């Protein structure tokens, strides 16, 4: 899944997460957090 980084920072991931792919988006969020650090 590809989401603009601006959206990840502005909107909490759960807000726009469909319940169909929670694991993918949670993994995406973790990778993104590591990328920022």
**pLDDT value for 34:** 57
Question: Which strand (E) or helix (H) includes residue 5?
Answer: helix 5-10
**Between the CA of residue 5 and those of 18, 19, 27, what are the distances in Å?**
18, 20, 14
Residue 20 φ/ψ region, left for φ over 0, alpha for ψ in the -120 to 50 degree band, beta for the rest: alpha
What pLDDT, in 10s, does the model give residues 1-37? Answer: 565 666 555 656 555 555 555 566 566 666 655 565 5
């Amino acid at each position: 899944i590809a989401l603009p980084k601006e959206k990840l920072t502005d909107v909490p991931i759960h807000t726009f997460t469909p319940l169909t792919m929670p694991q993918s988006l949670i993994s995406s969020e973790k990778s993104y957090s590591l990328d920022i650090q």
